[in-house]
Structure 1
Amino acid sequence: MEKILERYERYSYAERELVNDPETPFLNVQKNWSLECTRLGEKIELLQRNIGHYMGQHLDSLSLKDLQNLELQLDTALKRFRSRKNQIMYESISELQKKEKGIQEQNNMLAKKIKEMENEKTTAEKCQWEQQNHGPCPSSFLLPHQQPWLNIGGTYQGEASEARRNELHPTLEPIYTFHMG
């Protein structure tokens, strides 16, 4: 209906221009502006009425067909809103997953550092204990199979444990005795 009115106004305006006296351009400009102003006022009124309809106001004056058309427009708008909302949510989820992956990597690195620090602390404690009981720390001179935290390839630790047992208990005889003879 709005388009029909605009078309009517354009044709009537064009007809008025043809009928008007070409010697009075000032009056034509004034009529153009007044017609344009009237047309814009009507358009504003129509837009305000439509906004009211979208807000659920003044629906009594609408016919069944107008109400169905309004419902269709609102459904289409809702679909666009939901689509945009879902897109934003998926982007947000993707960004959060990337952050989670980065935090997990940092967590793994920190756990690895903690294990390394615990190993160093254990080594330092053993060395300190041995220095208190036996003098200089021999752990730096021990072979890898004698260090309990370096159990590479399942090495045999029986000899090392026997030697350590003899070192800890002075009443036991050493396993290896040398005879000079």
Structure 2
Amino acid sequence: MGRGKIEIKRIENTTSRQVTFCKRRNGLLKKAYELAILCDAEVAVIVFSTRGRVYQYSNDNIKEILEKYKKYHAQTSKSGSYVDINSQQYYQQETVRMHQQIQTLTSSNRNLMGNELSTLSLKELKFLEGKIEKGLTKVRTRKTELICVEMEYREKRGLELQNENTYLRSKIEENLRGQQAIIMQPGVDDENHPEFDARNYYEVNMMEVPPHYAHHQDHTELHLGFKTTTGPST
């Protein structure tokens, strides 16, 4: 398992804090020694413990290193103050320049929108007109390009749809021809259209009276005969 990260804050337990101090101090002095040997650097490390003890390491005379540090710090402080003044002036100038640039761009934008033209001279108006015309030319050119692209896409899509329509029509005609060929084959429609068979029908004599009609006629004759017999004699 790897070493877990610990939160960098003051260790409250005194014993743990002392143990950690010893370990970290030895590691710091070791790293300082390695830095001095490997990189040929002048290194000086001074550590004060909470009890006031001093631990130090130096690959050279520590007093000479401290004197060199004091001189460097004094020079840096003087030059640093000069650099701070110059930096402050530079940032002030940049701030003013940026404000002026913002105002110029804002005014130019308003003029392009057709506002605040009363303060412009004839030369400035001509310059503004040329700028607007150049912008319109670029806009129209881009618009024409997009229209051409859209028309090409529509033509391409129309050809694709036409080809798909032609293909579907050919498939429909092919299916119709197949169905007609199947219908025209002999014996295929025997089940749907059976041939005429005389045995399935009765012979009908046009001169023969149907049975139900004959029965009705006999009944009428009897009824009429009954009336004849029961009526007065002539």
Question: Is 1:65 equivalent to 2:123 in the alignment?
Answer: yes
Q: Please report the TM-score for the alignment, with normalisation by the length of structure 2.
A: 0.45
Q: CA deviation at 1:95?
A: 1.1
Measured after TM superposition, the shift of residue 133 of structure 1 is 5.5
1:32-181 map, 5 Å: 32-127=90-185, 128-129=188-189, 132=193
Q: 23-32 vs 44-53, which deviates more?
A: 23-32
The structural deviation recorded for 1:30 is 0.3
Q: Deviations over 1:78-113 (max 9, x none)?
A: 000010011011111111111111111111111111
Q: Offset of 1:48 from its aligned partner?
A: 0.1
**Whole-angstrom CA distance in 1 between matches of 2:97 and 2:171:** 76
Distance 2:175 2:109 in 1: 68
Please list every run of 5 or more consecutive structure 1 residues that lacks an aligned counterpart in the other structure.
1-21, 135-181
2:229 is matched with: none
The structure with more helix, counted as a fraction of residues: 1
Letter matched to residue 41 of structure 1: H
1: CA distance between counterparts of 2:120 and 2:143?
31
Listed as ranges, the gaps of 5+ residues in structure 2 are 1-78, 196-234
Query: What's the CA shift string for 1:142-176, capped at 9, x where partnerless?
Result: xxxxxxxxxxxxxxxxxxxxxxxxxxxxxxxxxxx
Amino acid in structure 1 at the alignment position of 2:83: P
Q: How many residues align?
A: 114
Instruction: State the TM-score, normalized to the length of structure 1.
Output: 0.58
The higher radius of gyration belongs to: 2
Q: Percent identity?
A: 24
Correspondence for 1:25: 83
Distance 2:95 2:151 in 1: 50
Bigger share in strand: 2
Report the AA paired with residue 112 of structure 1: S
